[in-house]
Amino acid sequence: MLKNKTSIVTGSTSGIGLGMARALAKAGANVMLNGFGDATAIETIRRELAAESGARVLHHAADVTQAGEVAALVAATEHAFGAVDILVNNAGIQFVAPVDEFPEDKWTAIQNTILNASFHAIKAALPGMKRRNWGRIINLVSVHGLVASPFKSAYVAAKHGQIGLTKTVALEVAETGITCNAICPGYVLTPLVEGQIESQAMMHNLPRDRVVREVMLAVQPTKRFVEVEDIAALAVFLCSDAAKSITGAAIPIDGGWTAR
């Protein structure tokens, strides 16, 4: 379905980003992986994805908090594959603290990783998409782009900002073959959430299974984590021709969290 298309997925050495990269490769797209991690482990992921899909897969180590590195990531992808047709802004980090105690460096790091990186990547990739009159921009946001939770001020602000950016970009390119959408998952069991389970367990002095049941999944009516593969399938669908009229949308995949 996506043969001859090229994608960038930021933050795809782990979790949801890796799942989306895998699904895009399986659908036929070349993939530029991005993200941190052990070089040998990343090379193993790169080879696995290429071998199982037959797609071309490369990795670029850009730190997306650096505007210049984001531009270099887009330029390197255009150089290696000839285009960036699909841009998935997925890299993200979390830090939890009351707003009046929130460390300024953590606030800045979250804005840079989530909101500013999305802006810089879109700015760099859009001219090529406009020239080819085709593109898919997917911002992997969160239910926290739609609703808030206490102690997550930086994350909630960045994620709400990403939805504003999504809508604005969608309107600016609405008459072209480019769409821009936000995917808004509830809790997904990835290393990012494992970290939160550990800190909540310490904070509430509760065992892991009770934190999962009584703190995390309490807000998710299905009482199940959202699966990476389901988010990846939605991302692939948004890249399809059938999704050409879906633009400027913030699509929850949250087990009913935002239905309350």
Q: Given the rule CB under 6 A, which residues bind ligand NAD?
A: 10-17, 34-37, 63-65, 90-93, 113, 140, 142, 185, 187-188, 190-193
Q: Which is nearer to ligand NAD, 203 or 242 (CB)?
A: 203
* Cα–Cα distance, 20 to 89 (Å, whole number): 11
Minimal distance, residue 99 CB to ligand NAD, in Å = 19
CB of residue 33 vs ligand NAD: minimum separation in angstroms? 9
3-state DSSP assignment of residue 213:
helix
Of 27, 23, 24, 43, the C-alpha closest to 35 is: 43
**Burial class of residue 75, CB neighbours in 10 A (0-12, 13-18, 19+):** middle
Please give the Cα distance from 159 to 181 (Å, whole number). 13
Q: How far is the CB of 27 from ligand NAD (least distance, A)?
A: 19
Active site residue 187: no
Cα dist from 230 to 71, 116, 221, 226, 237, whole Å: 30, 27, 17, 7, 11
| Cβ 67 to ligand NAD shortest distance, Å | 12
- For residue 134, count CB atoms less than 10 angstroms from its CB and return exposed for 0-12, middle for 13-18, buried for 19 or more: middle
- Nearer of residues 40 and 245 to ligand NAD, judged by Cβ: 40
Q: 155, 187, 225, 257: which is the annotated catalytic residue?
A: 155
Q: Which residue has the tokens 């036929």?
A: 28
**Residue among 113 and 153 whose Cβ is closer to ligand NAD:** 113
Angle at 114 (CA atoms; ends 190, 83), nearest 5 degrees = 95
Q: Are 24 and 86 contacting, i.e. CB atoms less than 8 angstroms apart? A: yes
Q: How far apart are CA 41 and CA 80, in angstroms?
A: 22
- Cβ-based nearer residue to ligand NAD, 39 or 175: 39
Q: Which is nearer to ligand NAD, 83 or 158 (CB)?
A: 158
42 phi/psi in degrees, rounded to 5: -65, -40
- For residue 170, give the H/E element and its range: helix 153-172
* Residues with active-site annotation: 155
